């Protein structure tokens, strides 16, 4: 049974392919098109998945799409009519795109080459919930999905059950939903825009900026967003425009309420800078901190409701808001959750996987065979392909056939202060670089964070970096229970750091916290070996890990892209498969 999952037409289009219930390949379209957050039909990602599985379109039994286009069009048109005449912009867009929204089945049928009746639609929030529950090791669990909006739902709590021995019926049900326009994800995005960042791209920047501020605007936010004990949310839509505008998500009266003008797009915020510029940046940081605190409280309340409704202490989370690692940790701390699972792709790209998993398990009653233990589902390039790319670029390299030699050389370079690109195996499915397409560095130097932000990544100075640590060392490096939880594999928990560790690794210390990645020998032996070798040299079982890309670009996927990024940045070295490339 071959099932192709697709997400497309909003942001982060992707494809995922299941063969007999096992994930074989998955990738975002942006990795092939090189357009960050590419929303177009994922033709290249689909071709990659089919090629990796060794099948063609004739072998595909079903295509699963991650939402119901008809319901989404209904919501758009209903909102336009309810808000008329202020919705001229959305109305003209609907007229331009409405036909495509309602012809998704035919578009997929023609593009993939499959009969139209083999194209199945799965509710958006069911796709998200399935991407988490059916990728988890749990036989039963509560589910929580929080994002901007699907068809109508913006948050949902539910429950899933599916045994590994095949006994009983697989099920996944959404028990309660919160509907548009009241949305935690859209609230966060509106403030993301207010703070000068790009929607669906800069939300994680808001989370990083929040650590520099204090939540003194929390009361002001409570005037526009009311949170109830059951996790439901009410927004005062007088302060927002996302329901009636295609250009902006907030109303000017939000600035009046906050007493601060919106930050212009792409202004460099430096909260540590002296003078008026730094003072204004700190006020924006305070707004970010207030929004983040509200978000944490809301996600905790929603998670607590999911536990209450389902009677489960295991929770599977998905949706774009599940990328908020600070809120995720608060769920473990405050919501009565004992075990938490979040896939490497909780956002819309993961909907492709979720739709396919839902069709396999629920619609077809297929057996459980898959747990997402790692994120390495993208394309790989063998040593010969790397050699050809290096030769074409006119670069000198050392070639080593022994993987142990590569890990030792990498550890030596890092321990001597080098910052390097690390390109190994299949690229990751999801927004995080987890040791296959990474930039690595020694976290022991306090100046390393600023060096990489300014001279390597060319990005905002307040942005933090993740500590990638040996799995068995993590409990000693983290100052709270939870380092063994599944989301730490995928860099989806921001946790307090032990004081001794934070002092020894200041480049990954973000005000006493870190976005933890735990690395095991079973799931990524080569990356694990690098960190072990680094520990042998320095005594620290952790390296700095960030995505192998420059500001505004997708993470590199091919050797050519890795070389281009190396040449355009301040990286000291590049390790690709068995090749070591250094600066002249």
- Tell me the CA distances in angstroms from 574 to 432, 553, 578, one per residue in order: 19, 18, 11
Q: Into how many domains does the chain fold?
A: 3
355 and 449, same domain (yes or no): no
Question: Looking at the domain assignment, is residue 377 inside a domain?
Answer: no
532 and 433, same domain (yes or no): yes
Question: Looking at the domain assignment, is residue 233 inside a domain?
Answer: yes
Q: Which tokens belong to 71? A: 């319901």
End-to-end Cα separation, the chain, in angstroms: 52
Neighbours of 259 (CB within 10 A): 9
pLDDT by residue, tens only, the chain of 584 residues? 999 999 999 999 999 999 999 999 999 999 999 999 999 999 999 999 999 999 999 999 999 999 999 899 888 888 878 777 776 676 676 666 655 667 899 999 999 999 999 999 999 999 999 999 999 999 999 999 999 999 999 999 999 999 998 888 999 999 999 999 999 999 999 999 999 999 999 999 999 999 999 999 999 999 999 999 999 999 999 999 998 877 899 999 999 999 999 998 877 777 777 767 778 889 999 999 999 999 999 999 999 999 999 999 999 999 999 999 999 999 999 999 999 999 999 999 999 999 999 999 999 999 999 999 999 999 999 999 999 999 999 999 999 999 999 999 999 999 999 999 999 999 999 999 999 999 999 999 999 999 999 889 988 888 999 999 999 999 999 999 999 999 999 999 999 999 999 999 999 999 999 999 999 999 999 999 999 999 999 999 999 999 999 999 999 999 999 999 999 999 999 999 999 999 87
Q: Considering only CA atoms, which of 184, 273, 259, 194 is closest in space to residue 226? A: 184
Report the distance separating Cα 548 and Cα 468, nearest Å.
14
159 and 306, same domain (yes or no): yes
433 and 308, same domain (yes or no): no
According to the model, what pLDDT value does residue 459 have? 87
Q: Which tokens belong to 374? A: 């790692």
- DSSP states of 508-551: G-BTTEEEEEEE-TTT-HHHHHHHHHHHHHHS--EEEEEESS-T
Report the distance separating Cα 554 and Cα 32, nearest Å.
9
**Which residue has 């990286």 as its token pair?**
571
According to the model, what pLDDT value does residue 332 have? 98
Question: Looking at the domain assignment, is residue 571 inside a domain?
Answer: yes
465 and 512, same domain (yes or no): yes
Region at 431 (left for phi over 0; alpha for psi -120 to 50; beta for the rest): alpha
Report the distance separating Cα 520 and Cα 525, nearest Å.
7
388 and 288, same domain (yes or no): no
CATH number at residue 25: 3.30.420.40
426 and 447, same domain (yes or no): yes
Question: Looking at the domain assignment, is residue 378 inside a domain?
Answer: no
Q: Which residues contact 31 (CB under 8 A, 6 or more apart)?
A: 45, 378, 379, 427, 554, 555, 557
Backbone angles phi, psi at 89, to 5 degrees: -60, -55
- Domain final position from 372, 392, 414: 372
327 and 364, same domain (yes or no): no
Q: Give all strands (DSSP E) within 414-519, no chain letters.
A: 420-423, 437-441, 466-470, 493-496, 513-519
Question: Looking at the domain assignment, is residue 351 inside a domain?
Answer: yes
Structural contact between residues 253 and 187, judged by C-beta atoms closer than 8 angstroms: no
According to the model, what pLDDT value does residue 211 have? 94
According to the model, what pLDDT value does residue 380 have? 97
134 SS3 class: coil
According to the model, what pLDDT value does residue 81 have? 81
389 and 330, same domain (yes or no): no
Q: Which tokens belong to 252? A: 């000017």
According to the model, what pLDDT value does residue 462 have? 85
35 and 120, same domain (yes or no): yes
87 and 131, same domain (yes or no): yes
Active site members? 11
- Domain final position from 352, 372, 392: 372
Domain that holds residue 488: 383-582
CATH number at residue 547: 3.90.870.20
Neighbours of 567 (CB within 10 A): 13
Q: Which tokens belong to 282? A: 């700190």
140 and 237, same domain (yes or no): yes
Q: Which residues contact 515 (CB under 8 A, 6 or more apart)?
A: 325, 464, 466, 467, 491, 492, 493, 494
């Amino acid at each position: 049974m071959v099932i192709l999952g697709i997400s497309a037409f909003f942001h982060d289009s992707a494809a995922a392919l299941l063969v007999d219930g096992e994930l074989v390949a998955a990738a975002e379209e942006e990795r092939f098109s090189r357009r960050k957050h590419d929303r177009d039909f994922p033709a290249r990602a689909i071709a990659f998945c089919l090629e990796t599985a060794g099948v063609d379109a004739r072998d595909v039994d079903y295509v699963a799409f991650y939402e119901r286009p008809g319901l989404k069009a209904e919501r758009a048109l209903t909102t336009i009519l309810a808000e008329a005449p202020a919705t001229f912009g959305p109305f003209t867009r609907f007229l331009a795109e409405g036909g495509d929204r309602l012809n998704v089945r035919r578009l997929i049928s023609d593009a993939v080459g499959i009969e139209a009746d083999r194209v199945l639609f799965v509710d958006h929030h069911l796709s998200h919930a399935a991407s988490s529950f059916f990728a988890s090791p749990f036989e039963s669990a509560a589910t929580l999905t929080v994002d901007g909006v699907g068809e109508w739902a913006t948050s949902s709590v539910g429950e899933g059950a599916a045994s590994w021995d095949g006994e009983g019926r697989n099920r996944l049900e959404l028990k309660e939903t919160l509907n548009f326009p009241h949305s935690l994800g859209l609230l966060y995005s509106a403030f993301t825009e207010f703070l000068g960042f790009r929607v669906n791209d800069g939300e994680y920047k808001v989370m990083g900026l929040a650590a520099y501020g204090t939540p003194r605007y929390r009361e002001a936010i409570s005037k526009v967003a009311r949170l109830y004990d059951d996790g439901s949310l009410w927004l005062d839509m007088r302060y927002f425009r996302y329901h009636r505008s295609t250009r902006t998500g907030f109303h000017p009266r939000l600035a009046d309420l906050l007493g601060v003008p919106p930050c212009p797009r792409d202004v460099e915020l430096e909260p540590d800078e002296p003078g008026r510029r730094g003072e204004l940046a700190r006020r924006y940081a305070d707004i970010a901190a207030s929004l983040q605190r509200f978000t944490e409280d809301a996600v905790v309340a929603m998670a607590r409701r999911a536990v209450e409704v389902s009677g489960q202490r295991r929770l599977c989370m998905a949706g774009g808001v599940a990328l908020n690692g600070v809120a995720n940790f608060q769920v473990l701390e405050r919501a009565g959750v004992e075990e938490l699972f979040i896939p490497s792709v909780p956002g819309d790209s993961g909907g492709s996987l979720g739709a396919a998993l839902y069709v396999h398990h629920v619609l077809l009653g297929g057996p459980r065979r898959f747990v997402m233990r790692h994120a390495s589902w993208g394309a790989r390039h063998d040593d010969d392909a790397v050699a050809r790319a290096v030769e074409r670029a006119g670069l000198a390299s050392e070639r080593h056939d022994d993987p142990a030699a590569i890990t030792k050389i990498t550890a030596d370079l890092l321990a001597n202060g080098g910052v390097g690109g690390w390109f190994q195996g299949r690229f990751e499915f999801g927004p995080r670089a987890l040791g296959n397409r990474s930039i690595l560095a020694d976290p022991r130097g306090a100046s390393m964070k600023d060096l990489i932000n300014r001279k390597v990544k060319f990005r905002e100075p307040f942005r933090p970096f993740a500590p990638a640590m040996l799995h068995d060392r993590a409990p000693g490096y983290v100052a709270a229970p939870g380092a063994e939880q599944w989301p730490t594999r995928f860099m989806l928990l921001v946790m307090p750091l032990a004081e001794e560790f934070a002092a020894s690794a200041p480049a990954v210390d973000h005000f006493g916290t870190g976005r933890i990645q735990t690395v095991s020998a079973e799931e990524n032996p080569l990356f694990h070996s690098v960190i072990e070798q680094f520990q042998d040299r320095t005594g620290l079982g952790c390296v700095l890990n960030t995505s192998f890309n420059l500001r505004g670009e997708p993470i590199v996927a091919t050797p050519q892209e890795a070389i281009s990024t190396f040449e355009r940045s301040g990286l000291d070295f590049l390790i690709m498969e068995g090749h070591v490339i250094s600066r002249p």
